Amino acid sequence: MRRVALAALGPLLLLAAGAGTAAEPLGAVVAVTGGRIEGVRTEGVLAFKGIPFAAPPVGALRWQDPRPVAPWAGVRKAEAFASACAQRDPPFRLPASEDCLYLNVWTGAYSAREHRPVIVWIHGGGFTGGATAEPPYDGTHFAQQGVVLVSIAYRLGVFGFLAHPALDREGGGASGNYALRDLLAALQWVQANIARFGGDPRRVTVAGESAGGTAVSLLAVMPAAHGLFARIIDESGAGSFRAPRYSLSTQDLSGPLLTRRFAQSMGEALLRLLNVADVAAARALPAADILKALEGRQDIGFEPVIDGQLLPAGAAEAFRTGRFNDTPVLLGTNSDEAHGGAPASITVARLREDLGHFVCARAALALLALYPLATDAQAPRTLEMLRRDGGAARDAWSWARWQSRRGRGAAWLYYFDFPLEGFPNGAPHWTEVPYVFANFGWFDQRHVPLRPQDLAESDLLRRYWINFAASGDPNGEGLPHWPAFNEQTSEAMVFGTAAQAAPLPNLERLRAFDRWADCAWGGRGF
């Protein structure tokens, strides 16, 4: 992974140093829940990898809430990442295992008596893949610039979200959200331990991209998460602001949330697919066998569940009724989120048919009139634009509106449209991540040279992110002013060739999508 020189950041480099700088340097051995761990110091940063925050969810603990860590004797080496959570095709050819409830910490603190802001990163991957060990998520640069960076793992797919009536009875409550409980356990670990790394437990920002962004949007409305964080960063997520999935037939209209009964039907379908009599028999199967059985199946899926207990409602309903964790929020989306997601065979007639197939034909026609649909050659690009605006873009806009209406904490909206070589239609999904973390291995993989403007953009984004983590406001000296979101203007910080505040470029289309979606979802959306 290529390392780059960072621009001088003045006071940011001394963030939270204060009186602690005169103390002895933070040692490589730190006492945490369960015992002592030893990290590795590199580039002025102490990195602790593979720290257990819960017992391995294996054997009888599969499809159980996370259990406390078993204490260990002596000093545990924290030099290497743990395995990715069990999944079919781990990124970067990483090993994968059900034994995966570990987190990582990067800190540049001089002593444990400092109170540096903390960012807790939740990786993406559609709730079915991803890992904390992915090279783009290395926290070294954040730590060098005054932030304690933590990345946390959570169970994925069938292992993280299986709901079944038998599991309800077994646990004395609603099943299905084991992955979300993993996130809560990790955040509780952070509250209990992060001060020992020079972090401030009162200034914890939960941050995530894609499914990680949806996860933070769920934490925002989860009563059990109250008090575990002070701010939120969401990059291209927030799918919980869409209507939940009631059946497979509503899949194209809904977000990555299942109703309790639908989730249970997926669990029952799994047991039939595995040809087992009960949950106990399913627990006895190797994880690889379960994943193999699900390979290629489009009729069975596992995602977060509105279970009425851990997650009482979707995000829009929670904000509508005032039941949410009120914090400042920094969130946004990319200009070409759905890049490459449209089949070349799509036609104008098929697009019109698909939108009109559900309901609300008048609103669908008004929506389509805002997109290029003169010829079939335009249809694939138009479908990508529709998916961008109806998905991540509208999700972020909806959250910003809800927060500005109902919350005391401000919302700060962005639109990432930085010019990238090889992507003429805008910035695809995820492409802001290398800039935020200043990890540019992605450029090497694409054999694209790193430009001076890439380094400048990376520095700009990270300064905003660090300011927000420190104070709840991204603005700072020498930065273009970023106004808090106002529903009347719907201004965002547009990260294009230059960074400037402006109304969302796709605002008219978002408003048209709002009118159509409100009709299609029967008022269950924004």
Q: Which residues are catalytic?
A: 210, 337, 429
What's the distance, CA 497 to chain centroid? 26
User: For residue 149, which of 158, 157, 140 has the smallest C-alpha distance?
Assistant: 140
Which is nearest to 118 in space by CA: 53, 185, 205, 197?
A: 205
Q: Which DSSP symbol is given to 15? A: T
Question: What is the spatial distance between Cα 379 and Cα 350, in angstroms, rounded to a whole number?
Answer: 9
Sheet holding 29-32, edge to edge: 29-32, 35-38, 75-77
Phi, psi of 88 (to 5 degrees): -70, -45
Give SS3 for 31. Answer: strand
Paired with 330 in beta bridges are: 233, 412
DSSP three-state, residue 492: strand
3-state SS string for 206-274: EEEECHHHHHHHHHCCCHHHCCCCCEEEEECCCHHHCCCECCHHHCCCCCCCEEHHHHHHHHHHHHHHH
DSSP code of residue 85: E
Q: What is the DSSP letter of 70?
A: P
Return the SS3 of 500: strand
Cα distances (angstroms) measured from residue 60 to each of 3, 212, 270, 277, 279: 43, 27, 18, 17, 10
